Amino acid sequence: MQEHLDELARLVDTAGAEVVGQLTQQLESPHPGTLIGEGKVEELAALVAGSGATLVIFDEELSPMQGANLERELKVRVMDRAEVILDIFSTRARSHEAKLQVELAQLEYLLPRLRRMWTHLSRIRGGIGLRGPGETQLETDRRMIRHKIQWLKGKLRDVERHRETIRAGRVPMLSVSLVGYTNAGKSSLLRGLSGQHEIVVEDRLFATLDTLTREVDLGEGYRARVTDTVGFIRKLPHHLVASFRATLEEARAADVLLHVVDASHPGWEEQMEVVEQVLAELGLQDRPVLPVFNKIDRLADPVEFGRRVSAMYPGAVLTTTMRTDGLGSLRNALREREQALRPPVWLRLPLTAGAQLAALYRLGEVMERRDSEAGFELRVRLPPGEVDRLRHDGVELLGARVADAPPVG
């Protein structure tokens, strides 16, 4: 439980508030009206009064009724973990897409809590002559919010279609998405793999909200397209997960997901479970996943840790961005994936096959080309199924799928 409270404290700090006290209670079942028991509410009220706190934040999600009741008893603003996360996201959103996604999540969170928000606003303003809006005003606001929600969903569908168009026009190569718990080091890995030091890396929660894609050299002529995605966290608000579906479509389209884990975190196993749960919620539980245990430079015994996780997760990779050779095993693992998915083949085309030649450049990656009076000989890497289609179309394969042999003739 303390680990969960420590994480909540980090969230509060990230949101710009200061923690002045903590209170815990273990319940067999939550109180329907206030989540915590009546005696604990009184204890919390005394803590608020004694510390001068102006805000109370619960680690559990509060129903609209529970939030309203607690604010009435405590005489201060009450928030839950979900609202804090939404607030952080709203301050971190930079791109137009991220701002749309966060606004949608905020409005869907706000809609069932609208009456409570109005009541809180009236109390702040003093109450006299401002008893809160009538039913007509509340219904007007609800209709406006519902209309805005539908408008935002339409805009995000446009974003998703635009992303699909971009993906369709990309040169085929291994597509990789980084997923993981927030602050696991995904952005550091992308910067280390790509060598692009302008990628911002910060030791804080939710430093990355927008997807960022870079091409990465895997060695031996192989390349991959790697995308960094928003980090996950325990009790991530469902509205937020749903809102970020367009962004996370990059993960759905990926050939492999790199599940980045902070190996130095004492709760890394629970964090892995959280990520797996969110992936399942997004319908990504069946995607190929490669576990990547990052920050091994912080471990007291990396060798023993490696033995342990290799037994639990065969094929798992250990990485660190603090050493120049810390990402070699990851490059090798990705190169092996690319070789298995798209083995290079040698093809021969006649000089008259200009349209097919153009199609090869469009659909695949031409690694080598030799022109002669007899035609074109190319070493290409193609998406699965394309080789069989080309053979059916009469294209001559030279040592089919034996990529490293020189072409015959």
Chain-centre distance of CA 67, in angstroms?
29
What local confidence, expressed as pLDDT, does residue 130 receive? 39
pTM value surpassing 0.85: no
Q: At what angle do helices 135-168 and 96-110 cross, to 10 degrees?
A: 150
DSSP-derived secondary structure for 162-222: HHHHHHHTSPP-EEEEEEEBTTSSHHHHHHHHH--TTS---SSTT---S-EEEEEEEETTE
Whole-number Å distance between alpha carbons of 172 and 372: 27
What local confidence, expressed as pLDDT, does residue 173 receive? 80
Whole-number Å distance between alpha carbons of 252 and 55: 39
Chain-centre distance of CA 194, in angstroms?
19
Helix (H, G, I), strand (E, B) or coil at 381: strand
Chain-centre distance of CA 294, in angstroms?
16
What local confidence, expressed as pLDDT, does residue 3 receive? 84
What local confidence, expressed as pLDDT, does residue 399 receive? 59
Residues of the chain scoring pLDDT < 50:
120-133, 400-409
What local confidence, expressed as pLDDT, does residue 126 receive? 41
Whole-number Å distance between alpha carbons of 406 and 409: 9
Whole-number Å distance between alpha carbons of 319 and 350: 47
What local confidence, expressed as pLDDT, does residue 253 receive? 84
What local confidence, expressed as pLDDT, does residue 276 receive? 94
Task: Give me 305's structure tokens.
Answer: 């840790």
pLDDT of 378-390, one tens digit each? Answer: 988 887 667 777 7
What local confidence, expressed as pLDDT, does residue 204 receive? 67
Whole-number Å distance between alpha carbons of 9 and 16: 11
Contact 138, 97 (CB under 8 A): no
Contact 219, 167 (CB under 8 A): no
What local confidence, expressed as pLDDT, does residue 121 receive? 47
Which residue in the block uniquely carries the two structure tokens 């895997």?
218
Chain-centre distance of CA 278, in angstroms?
9
What local confidence, expressed as pLDDT, does residue 154 receive? 93
What local confidence, expressed as pLDDT, does residue 116 receive? 64
What local confidence, expressed as pLDDT, does residue 247 receive? 66
Task: Give me 393's structure tokens.
Answer: 């179309």
